Structure 1
Amino acid sequence: MPIALNFTSVFSKDWEINFTQCMPNGYLKYTDLCNMLQLTAAAHSDMGGISFSDMQEFNQAWVLSKMRVEITELPKWRDIVTVTTWVNTLEKSRSVRALEMYVNGTKIIGSTTFWAVFNTERRRPEALALPYEHIELYPQRKPTQESFSKIIINPEKEVVFEKVVYLSDLDIVNHVNNVKYLEWCLDHVDEKSILNEKLNSFEMNFMKELSLKDTVVIHENFSEESTIFSITKEDKTCYALQLNWK
């Protein structure tokens, strides 16, 4: 698609929270929150001429490498939320994108995301083949109080679950969708902590892609301040998640 005539480097989109996206307490699921943020980023990319369809002409796609989310409060069923996004940095094969969520003009969530350009045939990173000079960058406009951190995986972690990757776990890039990793881990968190909205922030690192029929092991290490999950395949870490509690 060509660059939209009404393209702007700062983009906003409204969403209504529906009941399928909510937990039993009526508040937005953390997985659906991540989906909504990424769908907004995708809509902005569509307008800017660097969408999945545009990139597939060169066998390329954006894949998420890191994501940090800071939460003041969650939106609830029937809320109209506004998600605003812009690009902090964009060079060659990588980009940092900012996202913020508002309800009635009040910011409730901020997220910093790190993306890599991925060749979907070679299954490796490479430089973006499309022009992007029309996108204005805002390196000083930060959506989160903290930037990415290194998630430290304790070697004494506990094995909590073993899983086989099914077709329902895959996305259009033909690997496990990034939100699926989060879903797998949250299923092993005490439900009271989730339903009582004790989560202050969380951060995810994606290290190796997972494919259909891969067998993975989910590990957990718990403390009062945070819970760290890691997912391994053949003893190699593919994903790490840090949940920071209030």
Structure 2
Amino acid sequence: MPLAPNFTSVLHKEFEINFTQCLPSGCLKYTELCNLLQLTAAMHADLGGISFSDMQEFNQAWVLSRMRVEIKSLPQWKDTVTVKTWINTLENSRSVRALEIHLNGEKIIGCETFWAVFNTEKRRPEPLALDHEHFQLFPDLKATEESFSKIVINPEKEEVFGKTVILSDLDIVNHVNHVKYLEWCMDVVDENIILKQKIKSFEMNFMKELSLRDQVVIHENIGEDSIVFSITKEDKNCFALKLNLV
């Protein structure tokens, strides 16, 4: 797809929060928050000619490797938020993208994401085949106070439950979407932590992709001010989530 006439290197997109996206408290679900960020990143890539459809001509797609989200407050039902995104770095097979969510002119959420170009046939990273020189990069404009990091998985973890990957867990790249990993873990978090907005930030690391009918185990390690989840397949770590609590 050619470069869209309304393409800009910094994108602003408005969303109205609807009731299907909300918790019983009326606040936006953490999974739906990630969906908004994912949709905005995809829209920016589409406008800039490096969308999934464009990349599929070369059997490529963007896949998420790491993500950090810092939360001042969550938007609520009927709020209209503005999601802002830009690219910090884009080189070879890797890109760091920043995103922010603003409500009534105030930044309430910041996010830093690390993406890799993935060959959907060979199932491995490779350099981006498409031109991207038209994207202005903003390496010093950060959306979060801290950058994403490697999550330490404590071996003293507790097995929470096992799961078989089903069709509804998969996305267009034919593997488990990052929002699904988050959903699986959030489903076992104490509801008071979620409903009372006790999560000040969270990080996700994606290590190995999961596919249809994979058998996985979700583990949990609860600390004083954080909870770390890990997901394993055949005793190998595939995913880690760290919730930092207030």
TM-score range, shorter chain: over 0.9
1:99-156 C-alpha deviation (Å, 9 max, x unpaired): 0000010000000000000000000000000000000000000000000122111101
Q: Which amino acid aligns with 1:200?
A: K
CA distance in 1, matches of 2:195, 2:112: 24
Question: For structure 1, which runs of at least 5 residues remain unmatched after alignment?
Answer: none
Number of the residue aligned with 2:35:
35
Q: Which amino acid aligns with 1:231?
A: I
Moved over 6 A (4+): none
Shift of 1:224: 1.8
CA distance in 2, matches of 1:103, 1:200: 17
For the residue of structure 1 that corresponds to 2:155, the secondary structure is coil
Number of the residue aligned with 1:24:
24
Shift of 1:60: 0.3
Number of the residue aligned with 2:214:
214
Q: Which amino acid aligns with 2:244?
A: N
Q: Which amino acid aligns with 1:238?
A: C
Shift of 1:71: 0.1
| Mapping 1:160-171, distance limit 5 Å | 160-171=160-171
CA distance in 1, matches of 2:154, 2:177: 25
Q: Is 1:224 equivalent to 2:224 in the alignment?
A: yes
1:59-90 C-alpha deviation (Å, 9 max, x unpaired): 00000000000000000000000000000000
Shift of 1:177: 0.7
Number of the residue aligned with 1:86:
86
Number of the residue aligned with 2:154:
154
Task: Count residues with an aligned counterpart.
Answer: 246
Question: For structure 2, which runs of at least 5 residues remain unmatched after alignment?
Answer: none
CA distance in 2, matches of 1:25, 1:85: 28
Number of the residue aligned with 1:135:
135
| Mapping 1:81-120, distance limit 5 Å | 81-120=81-120
Q: Is 1:236 equivalent to 2:236 in the alignment?
A: yes
Q: How large is the RMSD of aligned CA atoms in angstroms?
A: 0.4
TM (normalized to structure 2)? 0.99
Number of the residue aligned with 1:186:
186
CA distance in 1, matches of 2:155, 2:51: 39
CA distance in 2, matches of 1:5, 1:18: 30
Q: Which amino acid aligns with 1:69?
A: V
CA distance in 2, matches of 1:216, 1:3: 41
Shift of 1:5: 1.4
Number of the residue aligned with 1:60:
60
